[in-house]
Amino acid sequence: MEEQVKKSPLDEKEEYIINMGPQHPSTHGVLRLVVSLRGEVVRNVEPHLGYVHRGIEKMCESITYPQIIHLTDRMDYLSAHINNEAVSLAVEKALEIDIPDRIKVIRTLMSELTRIQSHQLFWATFGMDLGGLTCFFYGLRDREKVLDIFEETCGGRMIVSYNCPGGLMYDIHPNFQKRVKEFIKYFRKTLPEYDQLLTGNVIFRERTIGIGNLSLEDAISYGVTGPSGRASGFSCDVRKHEPYSAYGRVYFNEVLYSEGDTYHRYLARIEEMRESMNIIDQLIDNIPEGPFAVKMKPIIKLPEGEYYQRVETARGELGVYIISDGNKNPYRVKFRSPNFVNLSALNHMAKEFKIADLVAIGGSLDLVIPDIDR
Amino acid sequence: MNKTELGDFIKSLEQDCEINEGKQFTEISVPAGKLHKLAENLRSNEETSFDFLFCLSGVDYGVDLGVVYHLRSTKLGHSIVIKVRTSDRVNPHFDSVTDIWKTADFHEREVYDLLGIKFTGHPDLRRLFLDNSWGFPLRKDYTDDINIVTK
């Protein structure tokens, strides 16, 4: 008995290994982390991936460009619109098609609504991870309103497949503008509730401020983009640096902090929801008249060459790299997914913090696992 | 620097490379042996300071296997593409750039997993998604009688 006590894994000098996931509630999917601990302190985090690897890049090589759109929904399912847009823009860029203003504006509106609903879900689940279950109900209540708008126009709620090469699948629903305006009016009133409930909460602040710091240099070296990168001061907003669709003509701020801790990664997302609402305000009354899609050839073939398109999803920079050999199928497609790259910094961020902080740090990266595995 | 200036400047850093001014990026093909030195130069040189490796993809070109590096400078705002190729399909290997850009760690593991390209100097080169019993699915000569239907 005495000997057992001596060899107890809680001995400060001994390192022991626990398995977090693939079915852990705080990983929001099938992410498996093998965590080495010394006492309560994290020494090493090693992600084991592949539980939802579907080989999307391989599948893309045998299907046509309009078909790829439907696979991109299933990568980062919370940024489905923006993923669709990335492939559509890449194809349009390759074919040098001019897209009418109406399509650009609707795409931008849809992307910003997507960003809002994604950050709402982030807020909901992040609060839940840290023990505030009320957040989950508030967040999902509000997110439902955005999904209803999607459902009316796109037919789908999450897997929307609304953008396609050459424009949109269908025109917006006659109620679209009215409902978006109603939602913005409602959400401007509700967003301060989010701050009251979580941002100012003492327990929440204790658990996030100064936890999981990521310096600017490391953020760039690890390639951490999106709100997580901007919380470290990495100016990486593709909407600002390389404006696509209608982002060139709207006014908005790039949310930047310099602290780079869990709290500021959270705060960046809350502020981004405000910026997204500002963008929507500027565009919703100014949707130009015109067609909702450009007439495309029934079989789309890209000219031989290489095309790269970047967009800003709710989690960071998504890159679509297409190599075409002139056929109707791409020769090679590579998705530079933001979650995959952000995850690679998790080990660096969680080191020397407690195991309970790992949940907070992982939650603040807002990982979507199917986007990591692809 | 604009695309032409970048190409000229990189030519002066490394004579042994081929510059191709593409539509979107300046593309630089470099022999596999010189990759690491050039990458280090591009990262540390004040004129280029490519500090952000935003995409790393492995490609099977049919005969050759290759890796494509997309780089951007967050300070100067310019981008560039570096390409390396090898005709060795049995034991393809390049130098790892993990020591220069930390993000290369996962990217290189993914390329190794799906294309079987090894990276010398990588701290922990293991398969990322698939089991050890799999082949390398992103290679063009990969066959799978059950899951891939060939017409």
DSSP letters spanning A301-338: -PPSEEEEEEEEETTEEEEEEEEE-SSSS-SEEEEE-H
Q: Which of B48, B60, B65, B58 is nearest to B100 (CA)?
A: B48
Q: What share of chain B is helix, strand, coil (3-state, %, to 5)?
A: 25, 25, 50
**Which residues from A are below 8 Å from B70, CB to CB?**
308, 319, 321, 336
Question: Is residue A183 over pLDDT 70?
Answer: yes
Q: Where are the domains of chain A?
A: 51-367
User: What are the Cα distances from residue A322, in Å, to A325, A335, B31, B101?
Assistant: 10, 9, 23, 23
Q: How many CB pairs under 8 A join A and B?
A: 75
Q: What sign has the CA pseudo-torsion A353, A356, A362, A365?
A: negative
pLDDT in tens, A328-352: 889 999 999 999 999 989 999 888 8
Among left, alpha and beta (phi > 0; psi -120 to 50; other), residue A32 is beta
**Does B137 contact A58 at a Cβ distance shorter than 8 Å?**
yes
Q: Higher confidence at residue B97 or residue A25? A: B97
Helix (H, G, I), strand (E, B) or coil at B35: helix
Residue A39 has phi, psi (to 5 degrees) of 70, -125
pLDDT at residue A361 greater than cutoff 50: yes
Count of all residues that appear for chain A in the document: 374
Average pLDDT estimate for A176-197: 90
Q: Average pLDDT for residues B132-140, to the nearest whole number? A: 86
pLDDT of B74 over the 80 cut: yes
**CA dist., res. A366 & res. A83, Å (int):** 17
Nearest to A49 among B22, B53, B129 (CB): B129
Q: Which residues pair with B118 in a beta bridge?
A: B93
Look at residue A144 and tell me whether its pLDDT is greater than 80: yes
Do residue B137 and residue A218 have CB atoms under 8 angstroms apart?
no
Q: Does domain A51-367 have CATH number 2.60.120.650?
A: no
Place of tokens 């799978």: B144
* pLDDT grade for A322, boundaries at 50, 70 and 90: very high
Question: Residue A92 contacts by C-beta under 8 Å, 6 or more apart in sequence?
Answer: A99, A165, A166
Q: Which two tokens stand for residue A116?
A: 């809002």
**Chain A residue at shortest CA distance from B97:** A221
Please indicate if any CB of chain A lies within 8 Å of the CB of B125. Answer: no
A68: Cβ contacts below 8 Å, ≥ 6 apart = A60, A87, A330, A333
Residues near A171 by beta carbon (within 8 Å), at least 6 away in sequence: A292
Which residues of B fall within a CB distance of 8 Å from A334?
55, 57
Tokens of A42: 């994290």
> Confidence class of residue A83 from pLDDT cuts 50, 70 and 90?
very high
Q: Indicate the residue of A218, A220, A319 with minimum beta-carbon distance to B74.
A: A220
How many angstroms separate the Cα of A231 from the Cα of each of A76, A208, A220, A247, A360?
21, 13, 12, 21, 15
Q: What is the pLDDT of residues B12-55, one digit of tens each?
A: 777 777 887 777 888 888 888 888 888 888 888 878 888 888 88
Sequence letter at residue B131: D
Mean pLDDT of the B47-64 span: 87
Q: Which pLDDT band holds residue A321 (cuts at 50, 70, 90)?
A: very high
Q: Which of B101, B106, B138 sits opposite A340 (nearest CB)?
A: B106
pLDDT of A1 > 50? The answer is no
- What is the Cα A257 distance to its own chain's centre? 19
Residue pair A261/A208 in contact by the 8 Å Cβ criterion: yes
Beta strands B118-120 and B93-95 are parallel
A227-248: average pLDDT: 88
> Looking up tokens 């200036």, which residue turns up?
B5
pLDDT at A5 over 90: no
Structural domains in chain B, sorted by start: 3-120 (3.30.460.80)
Q: Tell me if chain A has a CB within 8 Å of the CB of B108.
A: no
Q: What is the pLDDT of residues A281-294, one digit of tens each?
A: 999 888 888 888 88
pLDDT, one tens digit per residue, over A11-47 is 556 788 888 878 887 777 788 889 988 888 888 898 9
B51 touches chain A (CB under 8 A): yes
Question: 3-class DSSP state for residue A250?
Answer: coil
Q: Quick check: B54 and A319 CB within 8 A?
A: yes
- Between the CA of residue A247 and those of A213, A294, B118, what are the distances in Å? 31, 20, 41
Q: What is the pLDDT of residue A8?
A: 52
Counting residues of chain B whose pLDDT is more than 90, the rounded percentage is 7
Per-residue pLDDT band for B145 (boundaries 50, 70, 90) equals confident
Percentage helix, strand, coil, to 5, in chain A?
Answer: 50, 15, 35
Distance of residue A223 Cα from the nearest chain B Cα, in angstroms: 6
Residue B140 structure tokens: 């063009």
Indicate if the pLDDT at residue A88 is higher than 70. Answer: yes
Interface test with A, best of B20, B21, B50, B54 (most A CBs within 10 A): B54
Rounded to 5 degrees, φ, ψ at A249 are -110, 5
CA atoms within a 13 Å half-sphere pointing along the CA-CB vector of A60: 26
Residues of chain A in contact with residue B59, where contact means CB-CB under 8 angstroms, are 323, 332
Distance (Å, rounded) from C-alpha A49 to C-alpha B107?
A: 13
Q: Read off the pTM.
A: 0.87
Residue A183 DSSP one-character state: H
Give the pLDDT band (50/70/90) at residue A311.
very high
Q: Is residue B130 pLDDT above 90, yes or no?
A: no
A197 pLDDT higher than 90: no
Mean pLDDT value across residues A38-63: 87
pLDDT in tens, A105-131: 999 999 999 999 999 999 999 988 888
Helices marked H in A2-100: 2-6, 56-60, 65-72, 80-95
Q: Which residue of B has its CA nearest to A308?
A: B24
ipTM score for this prediction: 0.88
CA separation for the pair A170, A176 (Å, rounded): 13
For A278, the enclosing helix (H) or strand (E) is helix A262-284
Opening angle at CA A151, ends A150 and A157, nearest 5:
80
Is the predicted pLDDT of residue A186 greater than 90, yes or no? Answer: yes
Sign of CA dihedral A348, A351, A355, A357: negative
Q: Which of B22, B105, B130 sits opposite A344 (nearest CB)?
A: B105
Of B144, B107, B124, B86, nearest to A319 (Cα)?
A: B107
